[in-house]
Amino acid sequence: MAFSSRDIALPEKSPASFASFAISIPLYRVFDYDMASSAPLQAGLRYRLPFGRGSKTGILLSTQDATDIPLERIKTALECLDDTPVLSEHMIALARWLAEYYLQPPGEVLFQCLPGYLRDARRIKPTRVKYWHALPVDAQLRERLRIRSPRQYELLVAIEQAPDGLNAARLKTINAGWHSPVRALEARQAVKWDWSKPAVVHPMGQAAPVLSQEQSQVYAELKNRLNRFSVHLLDGITGSGKTEVYFSLIQKQLEQQRQVIYLVPEIGLTTQLIERVKLRFGEQFVSSHSGLTAWQRFQAWDRFRRGEVNIMLGTRSCLFSQCDRLGLIIIDEEHDSSYKQEDGIRYHARDVAIKRAQMLDIPIVLGSATPSLESLNNCEREHYYLYRLLHRPTAYPPPCLRLIDTRHVKLVSGCSPAVLQRIDQHLSQGSQVLVYLNRRGYAPVVICHECGWHAYCQQCDARLTLHQPVNQLLCHHCGYTQGLPTACPECGHSDIKHYGIGTEQLEQGLKRRFPQFPVIRIDRDAVTSRDEFAQRIRKLQTGQSCLLIGTQMIAKGHDYPGITLSVILDADQALFSASYRAGERLVQTAFQVGGRSGRGDREGEALIQTRFPEHPLMQALTSSCYRDIAHSILQERKMLGFPPFSRVVIFRADALSLDQAMARLEQIGLCLQASVRKREVKCIGPIPALMTRRVGRYRAQLCLLSKNFQQLRGVLREAMPAIKNIPSTHSVKWVVDVDAYDL
Ligand code: ADP
Ligand code: ZN
Ligand code: ZN
């Protein structure tokens, strides 16, 4: 089926008509209002609506002649906020599908599709910007201005010196009261303004490298399948040039006047990809991510919507960018868990993107060096096309992972002597070294040696982490902090000790050990803005020998050719995790981190420290490729009947007491009971969540699991109407998570 993104004009309304609106509140319903006879009635327009004692913004969904609401209670819509709909017919259809599939409140879903800036009752401001340009001025006028009107003269000279003209923001820096002098210059025909020029198809920026034989072959196959809906998985080892293949596909679509959405995991901090796209496609793209203000994100959304730019590069929510000529969606690092939204509206951006591509009858390309098991399974079942890139076009192959056994070895700041020796070797050869440790802070465990007291969060079932520069204990789940006690709060003894290491301690240790080399730490505490990130990473870019240490933030996406050694510390936690996903995540991280090294003209090396070198998963990491390991994990999942061989829906509740949370889920369980019994659907729970108390609330869950998706949908279809009426209040909240990532 093909949807066009043209707006629909609804039929002329009769004087007594009503409209249904989506309002951003967590209720499974829409709201009817009476419409004044002059009100414009197009789906996708925003209105200000009376609501309770105040007002709320609503998105018009449909109009009708009648309503179930008693006439004396119905209210009249206050004012229309838009000249043209902010959501296209296609986007409303996609949102409705999302709400239906993920069982999310429709109002919240529709608002999620808008940039944050439009979720309030703001009118759209033009995102085009005025630029003032100089006109030829004769010598006499120039002299008169210079003597009589110094302010005008100063601004005129500044405008003359700017080849692309000056906008209001720039003029203001020259003279805060620029308005009236510029107006006077306009009247004298010394300057005139124009809108910022739309980026019409721009000549290529940087020339594309010649694709390797492997890349060309993948591109050649793919490009013949771009004219209709199809899902393509590009499974290419780290550094194999997937990005170059995406670029070629984008180029092809731009030549056909089509637009492209290019999704990446969180890029708020990393400018590398943005720079690369800019070099390649000049001004034809916008990017949108959490490093921008709401207004900047709105600007990006609006420019893409108006077709002023043809590429939208951004994170998860950019999936909802609208445009008239969408021709391709690309999802890089498709395995990344940041595509699954875990709060507010619960959806998986990759899966919604596939639905969107299907609705528009366009292709979608997923790419990763470590594809998700879901996607690999879909390739095996021939739902997706599969392409492989097995070589790096210029550099050495990614290094094989090697285990460093840490049993019977004394660690120094978390590193074994063997690891320190390898680091030393690489640094002294002028290389850069990456050390991955997925734990922030100084030490994760603080205890009293005398009585065994542990530093726990008061609001969560979690330990407090010691952060040293401030000597604070911090909860990583709720942000609770307290000073490090000098005496044990239980027994008063002063023998308080810390155990384990985090990135802060690692940084200190490595600085002490390698004083002549810079140590760059990247984690959420060290880096809070793009500028900070850029500043820290600068040394890396110079190619100077240095150490890069950090958490998840350094594990993916970066391409620094100077790195020749990657080290993974403390991967063992994953071997004993309660999560069935832990193994898969460990393997993905190991290959991603390992793949950061050896991208330049020197061969790379990758090490994993472990106390369990005989564990089958650790053994597999050193002897098999990602695909083979993924395949065996898939076999295991099949035997156990876990996703992707079954589907999971989890109802979660949180409340001020565990009893309340459990009781709410019991109530939901009762609604499900009859339907579950008739079908091959397993219902597990309610049980307390793994971390039962979080941010002061107690959490429990009820899980539905089935190998037969249709049967699971059948249960939900029957039970949801009753469940939707169960209140979700502040004291007891419940939500549903369809295709939950974990159990
Ligand atoms: P991936 O996205 O698979 O990790 P990239 O596209 O980032 O890989 O490529 C890795 C490096 O190799 C980049 O520095 C890129 O510029 C370079 N590269 C990719 N393809 C080619 C090619 N055909 N010729 C020369 N260099 C290439
Ligand atoms: Zn004590
Ligand atoms: Zn906490």
Give the tokens for residue 589.
């991280």
| pLDDT at residue 122, as a whole number | 84
211, 267, 394: which to mutate for ligand 1, most atoms within 8 A of CB?
394
Q: DSSP assignment, residue 337?
A: G
Lowest mean pLDDT: which of 194-198, 486-490, 610-614, 648-652? 194-198
Cβ atoms < 10 Å from Cβ of 180:
10
Q: What is the pLDDT of residues 38-74, one digit of tens each?
A: 888 899 999 999 999 999 999 999 998 888 888 888 8
Is 644's C-beta closer than 6 angstroms to any atom of ligand 1? no
Name the residue at shortest CA distance from atom 15 of ligand 1: 241
| pLDDT at residue 268, as a whole number | 56
Average pLDDT rounded to a whole number, residues 495-501: 92
Q: What is the pLDDT of residues 587-603, one digit of tens each?
A: 999 999 999 999 888 99
| pLDDT at residue 579, as a whole number | 87
The answer on pLDDT for 191 being more than 90 is yes
Is 218's C-beta closer than 6 angstroms to any atom of ligand 1? no
Is 244's C-beta closer than 6 angstroms to any atom of ligand 1? yes
244, 246, 313: which to mutate for ligand 1, most atoms within 8 A of CB?
244
Strands 385-389 and 230-236: parallel
Q: How far apart are CA 66 and CA 221, in angstroms?
A: 54
The answer on pLDDT for 195 being more than 80 is no
The answer on pLDDT for 199 being more than 80 is no
Ligand at shortest distance from the CA of 478: 3
Contact 396, 564 (CB under 8 A): no
Is 209's C-beta closer than 6 angstroms to any atom of ligand 1? yes
Q: What is the pLDDT of residues 231-290, one digit of tens each?
A: 999 999 998 999 999 999 999 999 999 999 999 997 655 678 888 898 898 878 899 988
The distance from CA 331 to its chain's CA centroid, rounded to whole angstroms, is: 11
Strands 259-263 and 326-332: parallel
The answer on pLDDT for 491 being more than 90 is yes
Concatenating the DSSP letter of every residue in 492-546 gives: --S-EEEES--HHHHHHHHHHH-TTS-EEEESTTT--SHHHHHHHHHHHHHT---
Is 212's C-beta closer than 6 angstroms to any atom of ligand 1? yes
Is 236's C-beta closer than 6 angstroms to any atom of ligand 1? yes
| pLDDT at residue 267, as a whole number | 64
Lowest mean pLDDT: which of 95-104, 121-130, 338-347, 670-679? 121-130
| Mean of pLDDT over the chain | 90
Name the residue at shortest CA distance from atom 11 of ligand 1: 239
Q: What is the pLDDT of residues 335-349, one digit of tens each?
A: 999 999 998 899 999
Categorize the per-residue pLDDT at 200 as very low, low, confident or very high, splitting at 50, 70 and 90: very low
Q: How far apart are CA 253 and CA 240, in angstroms?
A: 22
CA of 328 to the centre of ligand 1 (A): 21
The answer on pLDDT for 654 being more than 60 is yes
| pLDDT at residue 67, as a whole number | 83
Is 367's C-beta closer than 6 angstroms to any atom of ligand 1? no
- Tell me the angle at which helices 179-187 and 150-161 cross, rounded to the nearest 10 degrees: 80
Residues in CB range of 704: below 8 A, 6 or more apart: 648, 649, 650, 651, 672, 676, 681, 682, 683, 684, 712, 715, 716
Average pLDDT rounded to a whole number, residues 490-500: 91
Average pLDDT rounded to a whole number, residues 501-528: 94
Average pLDDT rounded to a whole number, residues 462-486: 93
Name the residue at shortest CA distance from atom 18 of ligand 1: 241
Q: How far apart are CA 707 and CA 639, in angstroms?
A: 11
CA of 493 to the centre of ligand 2 (A): 6
Q: How far apart are CA 369 and CA 336, in angstroms?
A: 11
Angle at 60 between CA 58 and CA 64, to 5 degrees: 130
CA of 466 to the centre of ligand 2 (A): 17
Is 243's C-beta closer than 6 angstroms to any atom of ligand 1? yes
Q: What is the pLDDT of residues 521-551, one digit of tens each?
A: 999 898 888 788 888 888 888 889 999 999 9
Is 242's C-beta closer than 6 angstroms to any atom of ligand 1? yes
Name the residue at shortest CA distance from atom 24 of ligand 1: 209
| pLDDT at residue 11, as a whole number | 46
